[in-house]
Amino acid sequence: MQLHFRNRYHTRVYVAVMFHSPGPCGQYGGWGTRGWWAIDPGREAYVLNTDNRYAAYYVEANDGAVWAGNYGPIYVYQNAFDSCIGIGSTGAKARVGCRLVDLGSYDRYYVNLTA
């Protein structure tokens, strides 16, 4: 299953995701974290391919808007990152909560980011 994001917001957004990754992240909680995808208004990005029906995301916009939730939390960094949920670092800029997404049985699932 593919996870895509559509930016329907009025400014650039930055997407981070949390996804099931029992192999590489098995000893660190079983969930991977990855970011950032910069998506301009009206554009979209393909961010993940997974065989698990659940993933989660955290988004920041250039104007300070945030899409966050109760899942995680994950560590996010100023620059691009690829890590596991249970690995923190003094280099992290924040520890944030994510919104859950249920991909169901879709081949492609789209999250529309709006105000």
Model-level pTM? 0.95
- pLDDT tens digits, residue range 67-86? 999 999 999 999 999 999 98
> The domain that contains 44 carries what CATH number?
2.60.40
89 pLDDT band, cuts 50/70/90, is: confident
Q: How far apart are CA 94 and CA 68, in angstroms?
A: 12
- pLDDT tens digits, residue range 21-41? 999 999 999 999 999 999 999
* Alpha-carbon distances of 22 from 11, 34, 38, rounded to whole Å: 35, 15, 27
Domain count along the chain: 1
Q: Annotate 7-69 with DSSP letters as a single string.
A: E-SSS-EEEEEEEE-HHHHGGGTSEEEEEEEEE-TT-EEEEEE-SSSEEEEEEEETTS-EE--
- Structural domain boundaries enclosing 89: 2-113
Six-digit token string for 81: 């990152």
